[in-house]
Amino acid sequence: MVRHESGKPVAIGIHDLALATSQHSLSLTDLADHYGIDPAKFSVGIGQDVMSVLAGDEDIVTMAADATARILERNGTDGIRTLLFATESGIDQSKSAGVYVHKLVGLPATVRVVELKQACYSATAALQFAVGLIARDPSQKVLVVASDVARYDLGSSGESTQGAAAAAMLVQADPAILEVENAAGVFTDDVMDFWRPNYRSTALVDGKGSIKAYLNAIGGAWEDYRAQGGAAFEDFAAICYHQPFTKMATKAHRHLAVLAGGNPTPAEVAADLDETMRYNRLIGNSYTASVYVALASLLEHHDGDLTGARIGLASYGSGSVAEFFGGVVQPGYRERLRGAEHAAMIERRTPLDHTAYEVLHKTTLPEDGREYRTARETTAPFRFAGMQAHQRLYETA
């Protein structure tokens, strides 16, 4: 905790949190039927039920703008000096996707914007960078926006873990939802467990290698967290994990529990994580947004009062970087939650049959700069209208 010029401690953390997802969805039961396999391979084997699927006029910018606009509708723009956009689904090698968001939501010119990338981890880096900016000047506020679409080849082992979502966070002093604690453990290792070269629109993944890399990195981050003076495992009321699929979170939770000297049963692990996984089971992998989707799920599904409880956040990005840190839930946090809003967002998606999903998956943008216009599909407030002269076009829906 930093101190203001007056000498009084200043809490810094998440003041508001809004999620956005796609227009469409695909049931993994339908995906299983298409491949002639038991649906339990998905619902039990990887812990996923439904994946979000973008419409042709949606992308990381439209989802990010949707979530960010709802943050601004409630909080206004006063004090916002920075927008940090985290994604691994970049749309331009030079221009930050956040600059498009900046215009769409009407932020003032006096806001710096930058895009951060390190697989699924970069939203946590953005959050920590935001805390540092605010520690320097507690009057400033920072928008941290994570937005991604997980795409894998049709018929690949990763196809069932696809998804799409954005998480927008307003980070400031005296936060209403979660104070970010100072102690943080980090871990980096150069491995090729998951990657997407510039010449591919879908990712490559070493499934078994990625699980091993995830557990190794999360364990390393946890050990560094403890070495930095972090809290004991039993001091956490709950832990939110990055969820490429929810079953991965259960593996990670048991791994940390064992490192901390415990030996939980599968039933105990499932009970510990159930509330953190409900949104992810219905949205799929959202890469950088995933751990913050889990945080929203926990806070919005927990029946009791978590005021004063310590929540752990375990963030992982393939390649690989991991971080473990804690936050304390703030008094009155329930008044800031968006549970009904997020439930309606998930419910309003249009279910696709497999044929329609496959058509969307195979649709690619032209690479020669010719004019391309998208059909109006989304009912969200912002849409990707197409391309012209190598430029992306956006408009209000």
- Work out the number of other CB atoms within 10 angstroms of the CB of residue 85: 32
Report angle CA 236, 240, 241 to the nearest 5 degrees.
Answer: 125
- Of the listed 120, 179, 181, 323, which one is catalytic? 120
Q: Which of 15, 24, 102, 242 is catalytic?
A: 242
Distance CA 163, CA 53 (A): 6
Sign of torsion over alpha carbons 274, 233, 18, 168 = negative
Residue 120 known to be catalytic: yes
Distance CA 30, CA 26 (A): 7
Tokens of 334: 């329930």
Count other C-beta atoms under 10 Å from residue 343's C-beta.
Answer: 15
Tell me if 285 is assigned to a ligand binding site: yes
Is the link from the previous residue into 320 a cis peptide, with omega within 30 of 0? Answer: yes
End-to-end CA distance of the chain: 42
280 is in an annotated binding site: no
Active site residue 240: no
Active-site residue (options: 15, 24, 58, 88): 88
Neighbour-count burial of 221, counting CB atoms closer than 10 A to its CB (0-12 exposed, 13-18 middle, 19+ buried):
buried
Residue among 300, 328, 301, 302 nearest 313 (CA) = 328
Residue reference for tokens 């007056």:
6
Are 88 and 124 in contact by the 8 Å Cβ rule? The answer is no
75 is in an annotated binding site: no
Task: Return the amino acid letter for 211.
Answer: I
What is the number of alpha carbons within 13 Å of residue 300 lying toward its C-beta?
A: 21
Helix spans in the chain (H): 28-35, 40-43, 60-75, 97-104, 122-136, 207-227, 246-259, 266-283, 290-301, 339-347, 354-362
Integer Cα distance of 341 and 20 in angstroms:
10
Annotated binding site: 38, 152, 251, 285
User: Which residues participate in the annotated binding site for (3S)-3-hydroxy-3-methylglutaryl-CoA?
Assistant: 38, 152, 251, 285
* Residues tagged active-site: 88, 120, 242
